[in-house]
Amino acid sequence: MPLLSRQTRALGRIVTLCRLVLLPVFAGALVISHSACSSDYGQPPLSDWGVGDGSVAQIPVDEPVVFAERSETTAYGLPRAGEPGIAELIALLPAGAISLTEPNLFVADGDVPSGDQCQGGGAVIAPGLPMVIEGVVTLHPRQYVKTPVYGQDERFYGSFVIEDDTGGILVLRDGRVADFTFGDRVRLTVRGLTVTFGRDPETRAVLIADVEPLTSGGGTVLYREQTGRFAAADVGLVKRIEGWVLQRPTNDNFNSMLIADRPVPPATDAEVTPTCIEICTGSCDTICPSDRQALCRQQLCPPVCATVANQFNNDAVALLPGACWEVGVDSELGRRGFSPPLGSHVEVIGPVASSFGRKIWMHRLGQIRFLD
């Protein structure tokens, strides 16, 4: 296979060779092709931006991704019999938290970096590496990840996610130019693994690998339905969520979109008591991430308290979301004006990541569909 890109890390000048790779045909799979138009998101006409004389037309942007729900008969067929899978790769890492005094780099013999600047004083030789695995790309190689490597912060601008029938994992990568995308199958020769953020084993990632494409042009990405909040076991897997936009992605919140699993009561001018708001906020905090207290206090709880006449009871709890999920929207979509209105009924499909909280990463308009 041709050599597509070369990245040299500060990690002891280890050279990561990135090659590319194919996708199987899914018999009997019900597929969903998502697409959307940029004009749906409230962008002003080009004439308002002073472009030409106003005769320039704004055309729809189509970014389809083909999805199918996993079932007993719909799977990737990976790993093949006798070959290792992503779950075996993940099993090479510690199952529990890694302290700041312990190494967080796990490499093949022969890929050990020189020096003693790594966390914990060095790297651990993992007997199971190198390991050759195959997987399906579930996130286009455009994800930005910043993580400490070999004593300094490294920036990976073209990271992506792969999955097989045993699990999924993040692959760190420098370059954003690649001949593979959603649904393509790739083969990885993995020589190094790391934990990207602090001590959390959920933030595991492939750090050193040869990436070889087996297909090009995209294929089917499989998903599972998600009902409750994301858990540690969901990280790396593609999930489908359906709900209502609770927080729009903007520059002020790092393009973070929140989705609630039920509609939120409309805003009201009715008087609400501080006591009801406090009780409501405490209940809301167990549903949405703990750093969303302001959202609960200011957006969710006032209409709930008004609806139940400040008597926070079971009827009030029923008005709060049963679960809410975060969607990390790609910055490029943000620059293009993607910011669905509050209350929009949507479904979103994408891989779950653990990056300052569990969330779905969204890179394409084809990952979201408006249901109303």
Provide mean pLDDT across the span 268-285. 88
User: Given a cut of 80, is residue 112 above it in pLDDT?
Assistant: no
Higher pLDDT among residues 11 and 98, named by residue: 98
By CB atoms closer than 10 A (0-12, 13-18, 19+), residue 57 is exposed
49 in a structural domain: no
Whether the Cβ atoms of residue 178 and residue 158 lie closer than 8 Å to each other: yes
For residues 87 and 167, the answer to whether their CB atoms sit within 8 Å is: yes
| Residue-wise pLDDT tens digits, 76-90 | 999 999 999 999 999
Q: Are 299 and 265 members of one domain?
A: yes
Average the pLDDT over 169-184 and give the result: 92
Model pLDDT, residue 237: 98
pLDDT of residue 276: 94
Question: What was the pLDDT predicted at 268?
Answer: 80
Mean pLDDT taken over the chain: 83
Count of structural domains within the chain? 2
Its domain, for residue 281, covers: 226-370
Let me know whether 307 and 250 are in one domain. Answer: yes
- Is 245 a domain residue? yes
Distance CA 351, CA 236 (A): 6
Residue 10 contacts residue 149 (beta carbons within 8 Å):
yes
CA separation for the pair 247, 211 (Å, rounded): 37
Specify the CATH number for the domain of residue 270: 2.40.50
**pLDDT for residue 282:** 85
Residue 69 phi/psi, 5-degree rounding, is -80, 135
89, 190 in Cβ contact below 8 A? yes
pLDDT of residue 28: 45
Of 219, 238, 267, which residue sits at a domain end? Answer: 219
The structure tokens 């936009």 sit at 245
